[in-house]
Amino acid sequence: CGVFGIWGHPEAARLTYLGLYSLQHRGQESVGIVTSDGQRLHAVRGMGEVNEIFTESVLDKLPGHCAIGHVRYSTAGEVSLNEAQPFSIKCHRGELAICHNGNFPFAETMRAELEREGAIFSSTSDTEVVLHKLARSRQPHLQQAIADVFRELEGAYSILILTPDSLFVVRDPRGFRPLCLGELDGATVVASETCAFDLIGATYVRDIAPGEILTVNREGLRTEYPLPPQTPAFCIFEHVYFARPDSRIYGRSVNKSRHKMGKQLAREQPVEADIVVPVPDSGVAAAIGYAAQSGINFRFGLVRNHYIGRTFIEPTQSIRNFGVKVKLNPVRDLIEGRRVVLVDDSLVRGTTSRKIVEMLRQAGAREVHLRISCPPTISPCYYGVDTPSTAELIAANQSTEAIRQYINADSLGYLSHEGLLAACGADEGLRFCTACYTGKYPLPVPQRAVGRSHR
Ligand code: 5GP
Ligand code: SF4
Ligand code: MG
């Protein structure tokens, strides 16, 4: 998911809309904005993408100087309007809205407890548990209530909470998910990624620190660290795939990391070939790095159709590999008779790669060597990324040679764990979560959750 917040700007709703637009890659299922006019909160949520829900007239219904917004892709709970964020409630504290990027691995246990005590949930989302906990807390100040709740509920969370007069910005002590602080004409802005600041002309100030609770209101900005400190575990997958390459994540250029992944991949997994071809768009930056290091020419040998909606009408007569062909098509003139190094950011189920390899062969490729700019994905994520269950992760169940045969490539090579860490700045002091590549979870996950499908 992606979150955006702004405090102290007359165009809060419009700027949030723009911020969410640039975070759209982080979630396409639903979108929502809640604004505050200083007295009351105003909310609009919908299923779909930012520009489908927020028209000029809808934005006019969102007055005020403060706002939070969310784009969702689900890692917990169902996909329906009930789960669309930000959530908002009225309780003894007054009005409260919340949006969340991350995941609470233990939310189900806590939810069951709350339900036994009589709580009524309106969604299947783990984030709603936080709302209930906040509403129940006896702490007079919300800032303290937030600290109490998160001392009890560990997890991965970059969270924004809006009340009629304050914005609270919270990042979990391990810093699993990114969250950045910026400034625009004296207003305070926060976003999952810095690309949102670029679009609205805000300046990046710093990252929200792991374990930080930042309160923004009329008195200014106040930072506190009330949670027990932990060793940071920044999600490395943000640099591999999830974030936009033009963002700075954990203070580091995503494009730079991907370029270095590609260069290191070429050192670790060299091959004699005629051209380097990326799987667009996710493989592009690493492919450029691979080409630069190996000296093999970079070519856009696969063209992507950018105008694909969520559904398309399939032909009645089955066309081979139709699904992937709608999105990608080989440039025969570049591919025919050539030995191709195909570079992608990750191999998850293997189904896409298998189809792309076949398409390249149909286009006349002499050899196809698949290179993946991260290690084999062997474990599901419990911290906010929608990795499939262990059963569906091909590398959790098969050897690299067996995968190579399945996708029918002439060779298959992955970037090493050490290579990935170095490319992302671990040698410069950044500390990462790499659990989906190692199975070593920085925050324990509930036993019964292990191996369960994440939708
Ligand atoms: P697969 O190996 O499962 O067929 O697909 C791999 C492709 O899925 C890669 O091109 C990669 O960019 C993309 N991918 C990797 N992780 C995710 C994810 O979490 N969500 C989505 N939508 N795509 C992903
Ligand atoms: Fe990121 Fe993987 Fe860790 Fe999940 S398990 S937070 S995707 S590095
Ligand atoms: Mg991809």
Nearest ligand 2 atom to alpha carbon 235: 1
Note the pLDDT of residue 391: 95
383, 390, 424, 434: residue to mutate for ligand 2 pocket, most atoms within 8 A of CB: 383
Report the topology of domain 2-230.
Answer: Glutamine Phosphoribosylpyrophosphate, subunit 1, domain 1 (3.60.20)
Instruction: Tell me if 351 CB under 6 Å of ligand 1.
Output: yes
* Residue 138 to residue 455: CA distance in whole angstroms: 36
Q: Rg of the Cα trace of the chain? A: 23
Please report the DSSP string for 83-111 in residue order.
G-SSEEEEETTEEEEEEEEEE-TTHHHHH
- Atom 4, ligand 2: which residue's CA is nearest? 381
- pLDDT (tens digit, 9 = 90+) per residue, 9-23? 999 999 999 999 999
**Which residues is 298 bridged to in the sheet?**
276
Instruction: Tell me if 349 CB under 6 Å of ligand 1.
Output: yes
Instruction: Tell me if 345 CB under 6 Å of ligand 1.
Output: yes
Q: Which long-range contacts (CB under 8 A, 24 or more apart) does 222-226 make?
A: 224/143, 224/147, 226/144, 226/147, 226/151
CA of 4 to the centre of ligand 1 (A): 25
Cα 218 to chain centroid distance, Å, stands at 31
Of 113, 115, 123, the closest CA to residue 85 belongs to 123
CA of 344 to the centre of ligand 3 (A): 6
Instruction: Tell me if 344 CB under 6 Å of ligand 1.
Output: yes
Nearest ligand 1 atom to alpha carbon 237: 16
Ligand 2 — pocket residues by CB below 6 A? Answer: 176, 235-237, 381, 383, 385, 433-436
Nearest ligand 2 atom to alpha carbon 380: 5
Give the ligand with the smallest distance to the CA of 380. Answer: 2
Active centre residues (catalytic): 1
Per-domain residue ranges of the chain: 2-230, 248-305+321-449
CA of 378 to the centre of ligand 3 (A): 18
End-to-end CA distance of the chain: 15
Q: Which amino acid is at 298?
A: F
- pTM of the predicted model as reported, rounded to 2 decimal places: 0.95
Note the pLDDT of residue 448: 57
241, 353, 370, 385: residue to mutate for ligand 1 pocket, most atoms within 8 A of CB: 241
302, 346, 386: residue to mutate for ligand 1 pocket, most atoms within 8 A of CB: 346
Distance set, CA 220 to CA 188, 223, 303 (Å): 9, 10, 49
Annotated binding site for Mg(2+): 282, 344-345
CATH topology match: 2-230 vs 248-305+321-449: no
* Residue 116 to residue 431: CA distance in whole angstroms: 39
Report the topology of domain 248-305+321-449.
Answer: Rossmann fold (3.40.50)
Note the pLDDT of residue 309: 67
- Residues 11, 66 contacting (CB under 8 angstroms): no
Report residues of the chain scoring pLDDT below 50.
Answer: 451-455
